[in-house]
Amino acid sequence: MPLRTQQTIAPTEQTSSAWLLDISGGLTVAVAAQDVIYVYPDAPQVFPVPQTPDHVPGVVNWQQHLVPIIDLGIYLGLQQAESHSAAIKMMVLLTLGDSRLGAMALEQIPERAEVADSSQCELPANLQAWGSLAASCFMHNTRGAVPILDLNAVFGSKLSPGGLVERVGYRDRDNAA
Amino acid sequence: MSSQALGQKSEQLMAVMNFAGLRLAVPLAEVHSLVSVLDLDDSQANASVLAQVEVNGRELPAFGFDAELRTLRSVPEDYRVCANLGAETPELGIICQSIETLEQSVTEEALPACMSSASSMLKGLALNNDEVLLCTNLAALVEHISTTDKSSAGLFLSPREAS
């Protein structure tokens, strides 16, 4: 499938290739280019698994391998989980290292970007809750600050049910106090 | 890519219990016996214990689940079988619509870390042809029931008693 490429920096500067992933809730995150191994042009069949966190809509069968799916929008409370497996529009298959795979629900086709070291930035205050999930962050010329995901954190055990949402909640309450 | 999408793997023969559209697999070696629901004693049923099943002279608690694996409070009319689980010494019965043995062994892969939750009875997933099987085992069932229904915790044998 054709994938758009976005040039974000001057051509003389050394860059790293990345994919911009639009998750639900209007947020954009990034992963290293080599982490994406397949983009599903249509949402594949999702097999729901009960008694799992709401942000895990189920698993997908990829070449006889069962791959867990994560929807960060639900994790962040930006989207309701009900009947979500049928509402997934697009998905990307990611390699997590050690031959492990993960899939992430997306809102639209990923966009390629070249990221320069000079574009690295701090996580803005409104994204501080991403700290445990983001390896770093860079400033994109049109999308603003984009967290670069630590996929092992995202697909590890850190995303306990409500974990990040609760932490955000506590942070907001603390700030309010 | 020779990928290991999930985690640790183990290959074994499985039996699959049906719960209103959901299929839950347990190791065949842990299925001790089967009993018709007509032979169960529901005179002492309580919150989550749907009935008592007599196995080898002992009364065991019997439980059931719906399609979301929530513990049932009554036995649906189409739940007809009680599978008594425990390799040598059965510990509990699981009431379901039906149970079948898979003809071939399946490879169970441990549930990925991102899918695990403290109270889940699910321990793994397996592919049976193109079907995704949800996998559990006796120990996970006992832990799940004991956790979600504190009143049931004392109903199970301790490891010493079971041996």
Q: Which residue of B has its CA nearest to A65?
A: B5
Please give the pLDDT value at position B2: 42
Q: Give pLDDT, residue B156.
A: 66
Q: What pLDDT does residue B48 have?
A: 84
Q: How far is A159 from chain B (nearest CA, A)?
A: 7
Residue A28 lies in a domain: yes
Chain A nearest-CA distance from B115, in A, is 5
**Domain that residue A72 falls in:** 5-172
Return the SS3 of B61: strand
Which amino acid is it at A35? Answer: D
pLDDT over 80 at B29, yes or no = yes
Asked if residue A177 is part of any domain, the answer here is no
Phi, psi angles (nearest 5°) of residue A175? -65, -40
Contact A61 B134 (CB under 8 A): no
Chain B: residue whose CA lies nearest to A103? B5
Q: How sure is the predictor about B97, in pLDDT bands with cuts at 50, 70 and 90?
A: very high
Q: Is the confidence at residue B163, as pLDDT, over 50?
A: no
Residue A151 placed within a domain? yes
Task: Name B13's Cβ contacts closer than 8 Å, sequence gap at least 6.
Answer: B27, B28, B29, B101, B102, B105
Q: Is B53 on the interface with A (CB under 8 A)?
A: no
Q: State the Cα–Cα distance between residues B70 and B148, nearest whole angstrom.
A: 10
Kindly list the domain boundaries of chain B, sorted by start residue. Answer: 9-148
Closest residue to B69, CB basis, from A50, A62, A102: A50
pLDDT of residue A65: 92
Taking the C-alpha atoms of residue A175 and residue B113, their distance in angstroms, rounded to an integer, is: 32
**How many domains, in total, are found in chain A?**
1
**Residue B17 bridge partners (DSSP):** B24, B99
* Residue A157 with chain B: CB contacts under 8 Å: 113-114, 116
Interchain CB contact of A154 with B (< 8 Å): yes
Spans of chain A below 50 pLDDT: 1-3, 7, 162-177
Whichever domain contains A109, its CATH number is: 2.40.50.180
Q: Is the Cα dihedral A167, A169, A170, A176 positive or negative?
A: positive
Q: Does A82 contact B at CB distance below 8 Å?
A: no
Which residues on neighbouring strands pair with residue B76, listed in sequence order?
none
Residue B121 confidence (pLDDT) above 80: yes
Asked if B129 has any chain A CB less than 8 Å from its own CB, the reply is no
Best mutation target among A66, A94, A150 (most B Cβ atoms within 10 Å) is: A66
Asked if the C-beta of B24 comes within 8 angstroms of chain A's C-beta atoms, the answer is: no
Query: Hey, of A51, A85, A100, which one would you mutate to test binding to chain B, going by the most B CBs within 10 A of its CB?
Result: A51
pTM of the entire predicted model: 0.83
Amino acid at A50: P
Q: Which uninterrupted H or E stretch holds A28?
A: strand A27-32
